[in-house]
Chain A
């Protein structure tokens, strides 16, 4: 037995103060109390808050970059806006792990990340490269070119493009493919349709689509600018709302509700979010469906060919929740009591295995990302899933199998922590 005197109470107090006072203080299990379910759930809320804050910071940068593009439409400003969009996806895709299990996120996220969309609702499309849902009158409504649109027998005035009008146009006429807002609407307004199919190359919208007067290409440039302005403003205000839901110190937000409830419920939501994103959503819907069907219409960030990053940062989000760590966009590291600490206490072997599996998934997704971004002969996700692409199939399958493996351990971790049912009581997602 260790009888060495330790100034433990003081050290703990200091550590606790540091953790509470500064979100960026590295947390280490050696110098603090053992993690409890309550402290883990509390840190999960910290992590979500930091992650949404980063999504907001990068969305504001995107908003500013698109404002510059609208004010001064040239290729450099278009390129800068695209860069800002890609940067905004990095934190946002990591937040998707909060979507499953937290109904407040799932109910909200459609306005930000709905996909796939019938982009002809928003702007011009080239008819023979355009697939849309049958019978969806909204699919060819072209809001940018119209003062009013007729969908589902109803005529709607769209002459003034405001954030709230665009929000109201989501699912107009009852079709989920009618998406007027969110990251993918912005993506389409920056990149345009990807007409390359399985070939390399993303959308090729020219900056002159925002030009004034005679330089305007494809018509309605001013309206296009108004749309882009409204849709990026809405993105920012939506993220502001979600940041506030996770902010500490409020008595009436979601975080207060989550941390006041039985900690088992919070742990259940964490594990359910990890498992659902890992298996059903990322491995299933977003990769295996696209691969088995050889369908680039099932590609997530299809206009920009950024799907590999979308997948990669989804995977990162899962790992973040388990390890309780999050690398912020400013480079700092947030860490704190984690599920890993809890599992370590009761089943170190399982904790080690799951950590290895999460690493293996990130490696497999990293391979996909590296291949898509390689300088020589890059292979984007839509090329990987093309029929007969053996290398692409191997890369995608590798990521799928790694995610499947880790989901098995996520379930085991839930059992280990005494979580009786991983089924959520809300949005009806299954693993």
Chain B
């Protein structure tokens, strides 16, 4: 009987995918320490033992921006295909990052290597027609939101809900009580935090809007202090330059997102995974997504869900105020913020809804469940 390959090809492009990929690698190694991982990842996956074909740090590019690095991507793809052809891994595990990973999936499929997609692209939110592509390329989907399972299964794709690995990550990181205590002492009783996102484009688009709303909130609630979360230290100067002109009392925190959330009475965030982190800490939140009028016009026919925030999508109703805006409607943010800060009833309702949602979805062990499913596929009993 031929020996089954112990090589797994794994690919993650984004920094969040890198963290989840590393956790998955740890769980797979616990099940079989002889497995070796090859592919694309960043520092976390490399530390976890990935034999990296290309370091994906600084290669997270959105949409048309990716065109500027087209030759780098072509080289990466060529190297990945060459590796798969020569080494014949027992499986290809793709983590999010659908643009590039679809090419890897296609190459693997041609070579007859099973393709497992962990953290599927959010096609239910934009581009549901691409499900047909997934059906052609992927053998198994490991989805992280409960509503994704029927969405993909209806299209005839085998999908298993494994839970969201973010919740494992939140628990693992915990909250640094020292930093939290310092923040609370420094900022006082009413803290509003802004979490625009980790990408430069998101900061430029959302932070000025948030800070204009901060000025209005500060007028209504003079005791309010503002905390700005800056995920990437490279963006500190940018964030500081934007915040300086706002005229409101602010503090910028580089990293320590969980402490920022925990120290806050209200979080105002862009529509991303961070909203789930905020929900996990049961903090009232406002979700804002801003795009240009032209982008809204282009994207409008493809909106398939009535909600932009994951929290609302998961609850299937508006439990946190959210707004998709083309113009900077900062007054709306300020109005919602004042309501959530001042009205106990509204605040309590929001927290109760978040509690109920987290009871349903914030279950531990997503990476372990994903590893179990992968083993079922590559080592059938």
- Asked if A and B bind, the verdict is no
Which residues of B approach A to under 8 Å, CB–CB? none
Which residues of A approach B to under 8 Å, CB–CB? none
